[in-house]
Amino acid sequence: MGMAASQARYLALTARKTNTEYEGQQLNQERVVLANRTADLFNQMLTMQVPTCPDSNDFTKVQYSWTDGYNNAVLSDYYQLSTADEDYNYVVTSYHYEDVYTGTRKQMRDPKIQSDRDLIYRYSELLNKNKTFYVTGMQYDLKDDKYTLEQDKDGRRITKEFTRVDDGGDPRKEIDAIYGRTYAAYVSDFKQDENGNYIYTVKDTEGNTENITYEPVDTEDESNPVTQLAKKTYKTYYDKNKHYYYDKEYGTFIVSEDFQNKKDVLQPAPEVEIRKQDDGTVYYTDGEKYVTEADLKAITPENNELVMKQAFEEMNFSNFTAVGNCQLTPLTQEGYQDKDVQTELRQIILDMKDEDKGNKTAYANLSACFDQTTGEYLGGIYSFKLNGVKYYTTYNDLETSAKSAFEDNAQEEIADNNIDPQLKKLAYYKAIYQNTKIEDTQKALLETDGKGRFSSVKFEDDSTVYTLNCETVTDEDAYRNAMNQYYYKQEQYDKAVRDINAKTELIQQQDRTLELRLKQLDTEQNALQTEMEAVKKVISKNVESSFKTFSGG
């Protein structure tokens, strides 16, 4: 091997040895990091608290109990009177369990309520559907019977055209709602007199109740003035096959088919539409809002405010027939006379009024079915049987659930039977006997047996002296809950240990891999060192030979 080749070889071996030394240092640093991680996991395990199994003795106590022949009672707390009393020495709190008649409320998910649905118009100043148009210019087109109005607003000119509303068509319903020619009333009861007239108990939206007599309209007699008036009032909506009833006192009409489907069998309805006579007023519209001809003609430069009105459309539900496949039955006045029904409903209302266990919405819906002054039943309560048990619900509860099938629902097509997914649960009610804890606190005379234990008790509102039983009892429910907590914590602890062990095993595997690589590097280092020493000897011989050659030896 020549001098240059030997030196090149030696340099290459030196570089390789340096690299192996550097890689060994890196591997040692990685092993230090793994060792620190292992130590952290070990310390983490040391800080973990091992769950302790609960001791049943911690849930066991000595209690005093007695029986009055009907209920078993327990003395739960007592303390001595602070002032002297010749008859009593303690204030005692006791409890017992007994069946209490209680009103309950349940909620049914997607109840599939079946009913009729109509779209009706409502009008209210509070809904802010009105809009004021300040008229700065007005023209009337006699040929087209059209008003053109102008308004200057913020430097812009706004133009609106108002055309006459036809005598028939859907716009008349909105006009009727806006200008009070129809209104919705709550018909709570009815009776029929000897002349075949129906006397309705009507409650308006302000809560005023009144008896109104409605006479049947003879739709077969076209010449009858009342029949002619009905045709004029209902215009295109008049149908001689329907049952119309007329009120002479106020000049209003009711169509029985608007609130029930059975001909000649009228039932009290939650709400009906009562229509007033058409007064012949002429109306104009811009396609959205309405004004009267008198309003338009009253516009002057000095009085240029024109109030344009608009009603809103809402759903009206009637003829509730079923909840799923459970038939709904309206509770009539006659049905409410049943004492058992009265007792159950009164108990339900009483408990729904309770601030702690009741429900404000339920109480409001149930109360709406009764006159708040006289307590008279007005109607609006329904019953149905579910699994053989009779339950009650109200018109408002049914309407809320039925309406939710159309609210917040992305479906464009809605089934006529209203059994699409009803998003709001149906509230329904029942009064049952429930096992209830009854607590009582009062003065008492507690006597001892001479060994520090109480032997008898006599309460201030009871003349009987009861013998006390001293017994050891374990709160099984509390103990089971504690055991469940223990099992849960034990499972959490075991999982944490398994996770730490798994992480430790992974670290150890990584460390073994690094250790193996270090051994390989150590072997390689020794081989390089041996080879470097051999090359070094060759270089030394070459140097020695070169010196001898040039020295002439």
Per-residue pLDDT tens for 119-135? 778 787 777 678 899 99
Domain-terminating residue out of 301, 316, 331: 316
Domain check: are 241 and 138 in the same one?
yes
* CB < 8 Å & 24+ apart, contacts of 135-144: 135/299, 135/304, 135/305, 135/306, 136/304, 138/296, 138/299
Q: Which residues make beta-bridge pairs with 386?
A: 389
| Per-residue pLDDT reduced to its tens digit, 452-501 | 889 999 999 988 999 999 888 888 889 999 999 999 999 999 999 999 99
Is the residue at 525 inside a domain? yes
Residue 449 maps to a domain: no
Q: What is the mean pLDDT of the chain?
A: 84
Do 185 and 289 sit in the same domain of this protein? yes
**Same structural domain for residues 202 and 333?**
no
Nearest-angstrom CA–CA distance, 256 and 190: 12
Tell whether 274 is covered by a domain.
yes
157 inside domain: yes
Of the residues 316, 341, 358, which one is the last residue of a structural domain? Answer: 316
User: Are 388 and 260 within one domain?
Assistant: no
Q: Residues 6 or more apart from 362 whose CB is under 8 A from it?
A: 105, 352, 397, 427, 429
3-class secondary structure, 305: strand
Question: What is the number of alpha carbons within 13 Å of residue 522 lying toward its C-beta?
Answer: 8
- Residue that finishes a domain, picked among 433, 450, 471: 433
Count of other CB atoms within 10 angstroms of residue 278: 15
**Residue 291 and residue 367 share a domain:** no
Q: Do 277 and 343 share a domain, yes or no?
A: no
pLDDT band with cut points at 50, 70 and 90 for residue 299: very high
Segment 422-450, tens digit of pLDDT: 889 999 999 999 999 999 999 999 998 87
Q: Which residue has the higher pLDDT, 202 or 501?
A: 501
Q: Which domain holds residue 241?
A: 117-316
Q: Give backbone dihedrals phi and psi of 547, rounded to 5 degrees, phi first.
A: -65, -40
**Bridge partners for 149 per DSSP:** 138, 160
pLDDT on residue 263: 37
Together in a domain, 219 and 308: yes
Count how many domains the chain has: 3
How many Å apart are CA 255 and CA 216, to the nearest integer? Answer: 10
What pLDDT is attached to residue 262? 40
Burial class (CB in 10 A: 0-12, 13-18, 19+), 6: buried
- For residues 296 and 220, membership in a common domain is answered with yes
Binning pLDDT at 50, 70 and 90, where does residue 409 land? Answer: low
Measured on CA atoms in the order 261, 265, 268, 274, is the torsion positive or negative?
A: positive
pLDDT computed for residue 391 by the predictor: 97
pLDDT of 267 reads: 52
Question: Looking at this protein, which amino acid is placed at residue 451?
Answer: K
Per-residue model confidence (pLDDT) at position 410: 43
Q: Which secondary structure element, helix H or strand E, spans residue 9, and what is its range?
A: helix 3-47
Sign of the Cα torsion 173, 177, 181, 182 reads: positive
Per-residue confidence (pLDDT) for residue 416, from 0 to 100 = 53
Q: Closest by alpha carbon to 247, among 280, 204, 199?
A: 199
Four-point Cα dihedral 259, 260, 263, 265, nearest 10: -100
pLDDT at 456: 92
SS3 240: coil
Of 426, 438, 482, nearest in space to 60 by CA: 482
Instruction: Check whether residue 328 and residue 291 sit in a common domain.
Output: no
CA 253-257-261 angle, 5° bins? 155
Task: Evaluate whether residue 225 is within a structural domain.
Answer: yes
- Same domain, yes or no, for 171 and 272? yes
Q: Does residue 330 lie within any of the structural domains?
A: yes
70 is a domain residue: no
| 93: in domain | no
Residues 312 and 331 in one domain: no
If one compares 447 and 206, the residue with the highest pLDDT of the two is 447
Domain co-membership, 12 together with 110: no
Dist. CA 92–CA 94, nearest whole Å: 6
